[in-house]
């Protein structure tokens, strides 16, 4: 079954990746499972980074990695879901886009843990000034940094202005517009006007972009970019670290509609790699930009000369076999390696099994859009029914199905453990996290469903999500909740959930990964769930359509705060008890690599390997 | 005297023609082996609920604490789980037995439906030369030219109404899709036989005494075609059982959590769990092998008896 997943829409970055985060339990898991967990923490010689050398004899992950070689990636999917920085919003597309684009600021990667990659460093901006009121940022760009590929001119501040003006192009809207509605002065007005431009004609979009300005986004000269907000935002720089705010040369980008094959083949790269060849279904070859200016890029060491993504391995089994046999070094679109593979790596105490807390989580979303009037959807509007669902779920079983402690831990709240404002609690605890069917039945009876409830349950078809679906079906049946499973191919699931006519009450395969680690609480509590930022309608993630004025007030209080943690914690307690979705478990990211991989690095943004900082050496 | 002899001789010959065919088939070694194997499979399918009751394991019931390790890996064969468990803690033996039901439930109706439709088309095409024959034969060729998997995948994908619910029961749809492809083989076979029969003297004789064409086809030609078609039914059945497994393997056939051999093999393969629990793969794999072998042996046995030269 192949599928080129497409998760554009406002879907967020998670669909594909999944690996929970186990946080503290990890420590004990690691102890028990040996080395596996901490990941190749620099073994013997903790060398520096440096991009030279030829020996290639460092230990797996430590030492001074040798530059050169080819990093080979086996992709489970037959194509990338996105490559345009405007629309890429999945952890896997972000992994590749990181090699092809640069931003104003970024995260440099961490050898130890995804959640440790929280230090923002200058990227294309060499420095910036913040106004006293905290609302205006003035960025000073580096000199002499050029595009590669379809353009080779120098990157200027106007390229950022153009990229941001593209955000609300009716032909292809930026994937996470909710961040930007609140970020730039005048952005909302600009977008309302842009929405009136008829889609389908790139020339009309170009004319609009050329003739309209966003008051909060300007470039006084080629090296200076000024971004202004109506309010102070403590996470403003973090928002700019996402690939949406990448410079694009208008003379190239304006020629193509959206993320087309033509665009991908004529990609104007601002990163250390450029596209050498691209054949969907076969391979993507990235070559290092000749004479890349390493001094001007503190975040991406770009050790390898070439990155090859192989799109021909379309089963989990085939992907891990390629890695085990040394025909590939990394995987792409593989949420979690098969259990048996993890177990093999653990048993041999392999340094090529990496696992890290990631703050990602899985949950059950509920179809709350007003058009949903099925008996199941109506029932789920009652808090007691949602509580019954929360009590009926057996989280221990789901954690086990994910691979046990190395891979997941039960979750009962919205905010996960690597995110600002997290305070561990579960408003609906059950003994051993194994569910409480009796309590669930009682709540259902009180809500008016003494004979149980039947729900149409959509799930994404792949090995993992099918396991979750059949496990939930078995466990919820004990509480009198019958799930009518409706499988949907991954490539169609976003569209299916977005279509108001689709029939579904619950979506069993919902997941998210933090857009960045640490202060990213805005993504959920100030984004998906905040009806000011994400009103119900097209683009509302998974049709969550949650509307809680109390939460909106708390979010508005948190954004400009100097100490937003406690505010978010309060919001989390409020919303978690109200169950806009049913939390299931938090995932750790688990990855396996070949024995050629050196200098293992996690990326906060991609929530997995940082291919711009990994090196390769001879097989051991 | 001579009359009596003749009558006896005829009666004897008739005897040899009727019952001994069955007896001859039973005496044929490969047919006998096949019947035994198929009998075992049918018995297994029928007795699946008994096995479920004896073990206390329902086909979709999960035994996560007993049959899975803490890290989610299934246990191998043991006293309680004779063939071990799958990735969700379900009994592989019980699921394999229930899988036999799906295989037969899909395979037999699909093949029979194909036989009926294909034979009807073949009879008409063979009996009416000229335009009718050309049209029907062309239709058969066109149907044959469709690639099975690709067409089946799109048909099954189309089986989702605007509300997301399947328009037709997935099992029924798989039956229809398979017979949609299998009828062509019966049509070609039948047409070839009828073309030969049409010019035989007994057909001409019947026509000359004014027998209606419909009666001629049904009463004279069909009985001559049926034995061969029946043999072909046994040959086509295992092919169609594999087709069901293929569709389920590709995720468009029988839906989870219902057990089918194709589903089980796909799950074992996708999750790589066959590496730690080989019986997850071997259980349904061997069952499928036995079934296909059994029906093929029956087919070849019957052919040996009915058509020794062939």
pLDDT at residue A100 greater than cutoff 70 = yes
pLDDT tens-digit map of A507-527: 999 999 999 999 999 999 998
pLDDT reported for residue A258: 78
Domain count, chain B: 1
**Cis peptide before B85, with omega less than 30 degrees from 0?**
no
Single out the residue of A3, A95, A75 nearest to residue A605, CA to CA. Answer: A95
Q: Which residue has the higher pLDDT, A300 or B302?
A: A300
In whole angstroms, what is the distance from residue A258 CA to residue A278 CA?
Answer: 17
Contact yes or no for A339 and B255 at CB 8 A: no
pLDDT reported for residue B276: 87
Contact yes or no for A343 and B269 at CB 8 A: no
CB pairs under 8 A between A and B: 105
SS3 of residue A232 by DSSP: coil
Give the minimum alpha-carbon distance from B45 to chain A in angstroms, rounded to a whole number.
23
pLDDT tens-digit map of B36-53: 999 999 999 999 999 999
- Output DSSP code: residue A198: P
Contact yes or no for B164 and A473 at CB 8 A: no
Contact yes or no for A474 and B60 at CB 8 A: yes
pLDDT reported for residue A11: 39
Tell whether B150 lies on the interface with A, counting CB pairs under 8 A.
no
Give the minimum alpha-carbon distance from A405 to chain B in angstroms, rounded to a whole number.
7
Give the minimum alpha-carbon distance from B259 to chain A in angstroms, rounded to a whole number.
12
Chain B residues in contact with A489 by the CB 8 A cut-off are 157, 251
pLDDT tens-digit map of A240-288: 999 999 999 999 988 887 788 899 999 999 999 999 999 998 999 999 9
Tell whether A265 lies on the interface with B, counting CB pairs under 8 A.
no
pLDDT reported for residue A513: 92
Burial of B21 from C-beta contacts in 10 A (0-12 / 13-18 / 19+):
middle
Nearest chain A residue to B62 by CA: give it. Answer: A474
Nearest chain A residue to B259 by CA: give it. Answer: A470
Give the minimum alpha-carbon distance from B69 to chain A in angstroms, rounded to a whole number.
8
| Structural contact between residues A346 and A579, judged by C-beta atoms closer than 8 angstroms | no
Tell whether A14 lies on the interface with B, counting CB pairs under 8 A.
no
Instruction: Name the residue among B61, B64, B72 with its Cβ closest to that of A403.
Output: B72
**B218: domain range?**
2-306
pLDDT reported for residue A176: 82
pLDDT reported for residue B241: 86
Within 146-185 of A, beta carbons closer than 8 Å to B belong to none
Q: pTM for the full model?
A: 0.81
Chain A residues in contact with B154 by the CB 8 A cut-off are none
Name the one residue in this structure whose structure tokens are 């221990």: A396
pLDDT tens-digit map of A400-447: 988 888 889 999 999 999 999 999 999 999 999 999 999 999 999 999
Return the bridge partners of A121, or none: A106
pLDDT reported for residue A22: 32
- Output DSSP code: residue A336: S
Contact yes or no for A466 and B256 at CB 8 A: yes
pLDDT reported for residue B237: 87
A225 pLDDT tier (thresholds 50, 70, 90) = very high
B28 pLDDT tier (thresholds 50, 70, 90) = confident
Single out the residue of B102, B101, B106, B86 nearest to residue B48, CA to CA. Answer: B101
Per mean pLDDT, which range of A57-61, A415-419, A491-495, B72-76 is the poorest? A57-61
pLDDT tens-digit map of A330-355: 999 988 888 888 888 988 999 999 99
Chain B residues in contact with A501 by the CB 8 A cut-off are 162-163
Nearest chain B residue to A403 by CA: give it. Answer: B71
pLDDT at residue B126 greater than cutoff 50 = yes
Tell whether A400 lies on the interface with B, counting CB pairs under 8 A.
yes
Within 525-564 of A, beta carbons closer than 8 Å to B belong to none
DSSP one-letter string for A242-270: SGGG----HHHHTTS-TT-HHHHHT-EE-
pLDDT reported for residue A31: 37
Burial of B91 from C-beta contacts in 10 A (0-12 / 13-18 / 19+):
buried
pLDDT reported for residue B227: 82
Contact yes or no for B257 and A474 at CB 8 A: yes
Record the tokens describing residue B31, joined without a space: 């047919």
pLDDT reported for residue A12: 43
Instruction: Name the residue among B73, B88, B165 with its Cβ closest to that of A471.
Output: B88
Q: For the stretch B276-290, what's the b/e string if a residue is b when 16 or more beta carbons lie within 10 angstroms of its beta carbon?
A: bbbbbbbbbbebbeb
In whole angstroms, what is the distance from residue A60 CA to residue A50 CA?
Answer: 16
A26 pLDDT tier (thresholds 50, 70, 90) = very low
Q: ipTM surpassing 0.95, yes or no?
A: no
Chain A residues in contact with B60 by the CB 8 A cut-off are 470, 474
Tell whether B293 lies on the interface with A, counting CB pairs under 8 A.
no
In whole angstroms, what is the distance from residue A173 CA to residue A200 CA?
Answer: 13
Give the minimum alpha-carbon distance from A328 to chain B in angstroms, rounded to a whole number.
18
pLDDT at residue A131 greater than cutoff 50 = yes
Tell whether A496 lies on the interface with B, counting CB pairs under 8 A.
yes
pLDDT reported for residue A550: 95
pLDDT tens-digit map of B53-112: 999 999 999 998 889 888 888 988 998 899 999 989 999 999 999 999 988 889 899 999
pLDDT reported for residue A285: 97
Neighbours of A401 (CB within 10 A): 25
pLDDT reported for residue B253: 76
In whole angstroms, what is the distance from residue A51 CA to residue A41 CA?
Answer: 19
pLDDT reported for residue A140: 97
Record the tokens describing residue A387, joined without a space: 């509580």
Tell whether B162 lies on the interface with A, counting CB pairs under 8 A.
yes
CA A550 to each of CA A4, A540, A567, B163: distance values in angstroms, whole numbers, following the listed order = 39, 19, 12, 34
Contact yes or no for B163 and A400 at CB 8 A: no
pLDDT reported for residue A101: 96
Nearest chain B residue to A503 by CA: give it. Answer: B163
Burial of A35 from C-beta contacts in 10 A (0-12 / 13-18 / 19+):
middle
Mean pLDDT of all residues in A60-74? 80
Tell whether A389 lies on the interface with B, counting CB pairs under 8 A.
no
Give the minimum alpha-carbon distance from A316 to chain B in angstroms, rounded to a whole number.
6
Neighbours of B19 (CB within 10 A): 10
Instruction: Name the residue among B72, B162, B275 with its Cβ closest to that of A400.
Output: B72
In whole angstroms, what is the distance from residue A293 CA to residue A249 CA?
Answer: 19
Q: What is the dihedral sign for C-alpha A595, A615, A14, A93?
A: negative
pLDDT at residue B286 greater than cutoff 60 = yes
Chain A residues in contact with B72 by the CB 8 A cut-off are 339, 400-404
| Structural contact between residues A485 and A456, judged by C-beta atoms closer than 8 angstroms | no
| Residue of A454, A470, A472, A588 to mutate for B, most B C-beta atoms under 10 A | A470
B14 pLDDT tier (thresholds 50, 70, 90) = low
Q: Calculate what percentage of chain A has a pLDDT beyond 90.
A: 66
Give the minimum alpha-carbon distance from A344 to chain B in angstroms, rounded to a whole number.
9
Q: What is the CATH number of the domain that holds B88?
A: 1.10.3720.10
Tell whether B163 lies on the interface with A, counting CB pairs under 8 A.
yes
In whole angstroms, what is the distance from residue A244 CA to residue A496 CA?
Answer: 25
Tell whether A473 lies on the interface with B, counting CB pairs under 8 A.
yes
Tell whether B250 lies on the interface with A, counting CB pairs under 8 A.
yes
| Residue of A474, A498, A499, A507 to mutate for B, most B C-beta atoms under 10 A | A474
Summary mean pLDDT of chain A: 86
Nearest chain B residue to A374 by CA: give it. Answer: B163
pLDDT reported for residue B13: 54
Summary mean pLDDT of chain B: 85
Chain B residues in contact with A402 by the CB 8 A cut-off are 72
pLDDT reported for residue B308: 59
pLDDT reported for residue B15: 53
In whole angstroms, what is the distance from residue A211 CA to residue A221 CA?
Answer: 18
Chain A residues in contact with B69 by the CB 8 A cut-off are 404
Contact yes or no for B271 and A340 at CB 8 A: yes
| Structural contact between residues A91 and A16, judged by C-beta atoms closer than 8 angstroms | yes
Q: Judging by DSSP bridges, how do beta strands A224-228 and A306-310 pair with one another?
A: unpaired
């Amino acid at each position: 079954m192949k599928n080129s997943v497409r998760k554009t829409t406002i879907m967020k970055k998670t669909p594909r990746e999944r690996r929970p985060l186990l946080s503290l339990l990890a420590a004990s898991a690691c102890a028990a499972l040996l080395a596996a967990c901490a990941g190749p923490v620099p073994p013997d010689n903790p060398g520096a980074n440096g991009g030279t050398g030829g020996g290639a004899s460092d230990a797996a992950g430590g030492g001074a990695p040798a530059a050169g070689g080819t990093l080979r990636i086996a992709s489970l999917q037959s194509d990338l879901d996105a490559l345009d920085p405007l629309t890429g919003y999945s952890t896997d597309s972000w992994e590749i886009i990181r090699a092809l684009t640069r931003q104003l600021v970024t995260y440099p990667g961490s050898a130890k843990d995804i959640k440790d990659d929280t230090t923002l460093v200058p990227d294309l901006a060499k420095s910036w000034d913040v106004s006293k009121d905290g609302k205006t940022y003035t960025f000073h760009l580096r000199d002499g940094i050029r595009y590669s590929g379809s353009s080779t001119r120098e990157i200027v501040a106007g390229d950022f202005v153009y990229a941001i003006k593209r955000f609300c192009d009716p032909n292809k809207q930026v994937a996470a517009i909710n961040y930007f509605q609140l970020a730039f002065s005048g952005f909302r007005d600009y977008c309302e006007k842009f929405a009136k431009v008829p889609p389908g004609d790139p020339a009309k979009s170009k004319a609009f972009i050329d003739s309209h300005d966003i008051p909060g986004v300007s470039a006084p000269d080629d090296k200076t970019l000024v971004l202004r907000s109506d309010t102070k935002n403590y996470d403003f720089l973090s928002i700019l670290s996402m690939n949406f705010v990448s410079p694009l040369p208008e003379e190239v980008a304006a020629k193509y509609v959206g993320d087309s094959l033509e665009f991908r083949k004529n990609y104007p790269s601002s990163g250390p790699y450029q596209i050498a060849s691209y054949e969907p279904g076969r391979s993507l070859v990235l070559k290092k930009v000749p004479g890349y200016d390493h001094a001007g890029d503190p975040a991406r060491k770009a050790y390898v000369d070439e990155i090859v993504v192989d799109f021909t391995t379309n089963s989990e089994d085939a992907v891990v076999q390629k890695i085990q046999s040394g025909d590939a070094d990394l995987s792409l679109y593989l949420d979690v390696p098969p259990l048996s593979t993890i177990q093999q790596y653990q048993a041999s105490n392999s340094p090529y099994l990496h696992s890290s807390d990631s703050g990602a989580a899985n949950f059950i979303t509920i179809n709350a859009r007003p058009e949903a009037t099925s008996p199941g959807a109506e029932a789920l509007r009652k808090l007691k029914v949602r509580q019954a669902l929360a009590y009926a779920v057996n989280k221990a079983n789901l954690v086990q199905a994910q691979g046990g402690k190395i891979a997941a831990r039960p979750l009962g709240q919205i905010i996960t453990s690597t995110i600002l404002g997290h305070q561990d609690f579960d408003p609906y605890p059950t003994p051993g996290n194994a569910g409480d069917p009796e309590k669930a039945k009682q709540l259902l009876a009180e809500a008016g469903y003494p004979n149980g409830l039947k729900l149409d349950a959509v799930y994404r078809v792949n090995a993992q999500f099918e396991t979750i679906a059949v496990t939930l079906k078995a466990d919820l049946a004990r509480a009198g909740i019958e799930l009518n499973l409706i499988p949907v191919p991954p490539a169609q699931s976003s569209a299916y959930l977005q279509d108001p006519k689709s029939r579904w009450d619950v979506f069993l395969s919902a997941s998210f990964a933090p857009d960045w680690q640490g202060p990213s609480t805005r993504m959920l509590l100030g984004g998906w769930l905040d009806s000011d930022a994400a009103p119900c309608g097209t683009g509302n993630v998974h049709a969550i359509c949650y509307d809680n004025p109390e939460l909106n007030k708390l979010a508005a209080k948190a954004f400009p705060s100097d100490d937003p943690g406690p505010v978010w914690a309060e919001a989390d307690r409020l919303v978690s008890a109200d169950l806009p979705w049913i939390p299931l478990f938090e995932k750790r990211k688990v990855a396996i690599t070949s024995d050629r991989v050196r200098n293992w690095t996690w990326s906060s943004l991609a929530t997995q390997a940082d291919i711009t900082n990994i090196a390769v050496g001879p097989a051991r | 005297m001579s009359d009596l002899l003749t009558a006896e001789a005829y009666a004897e010959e008739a005897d040899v023609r009727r019952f001994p065919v069955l007896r001859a088939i039973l005496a044929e070694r490969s047919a006998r082996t096949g019947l035994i194997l198929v009998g075992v499979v049918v018995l297994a399918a029928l007795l699946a609920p008994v096995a479920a009751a004896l073990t206390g394991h329902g086909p979709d019931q999960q035994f996560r604490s007993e049959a899975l390790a803490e890290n989610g890996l299934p246990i191998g064969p043991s006293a309680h789980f004779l063939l071990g468990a799958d990735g969700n803690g379900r009994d592989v033996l019980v699921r394999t037995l229930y899988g036999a039901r799906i295989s037969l439930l899909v395979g037999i109706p699909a093949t029979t439906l194909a036989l009926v439709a294909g034979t009807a088309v073949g009879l008409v095409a063979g009996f009416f030369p000229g335009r009718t024959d050309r049209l029907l034969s062309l239709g058969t060729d066109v149907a044959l030219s469709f690639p099975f998997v690709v067409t089946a995948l799109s048909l099954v994908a189309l089986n989702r109404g605007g509300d997301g619910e399947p328009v037709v029961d997935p099992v029924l749809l798989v039956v229809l899709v398979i017979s949609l492809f299998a009828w062509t083989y019966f049509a070609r076979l039948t047409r070839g036989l009828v073309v030969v029969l049409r010019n035989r003297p007994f057909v001409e004789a019947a026509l000359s005494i004014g027998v209606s064409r419909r009666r001629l086809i049904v009463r004279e030609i069909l009985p001559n075609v049926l034995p061969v078609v029946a043999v072909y039914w046994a040959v086509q059945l295992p092919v169609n059982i594999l087709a069901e497994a293929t569709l389920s393997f590709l995720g468009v056939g029988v839906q989870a959590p219902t057990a089918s051999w194709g589903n089980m093999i796909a799950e074992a393969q996708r999750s790589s769990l066959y590496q730690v629990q080989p019986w997850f793969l071997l259980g349904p794999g061997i069952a499928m092998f036995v079934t296909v072998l059994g029906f093929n042996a029956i087919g070849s046995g019957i052919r040996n008896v009915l058509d020794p030269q062939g």
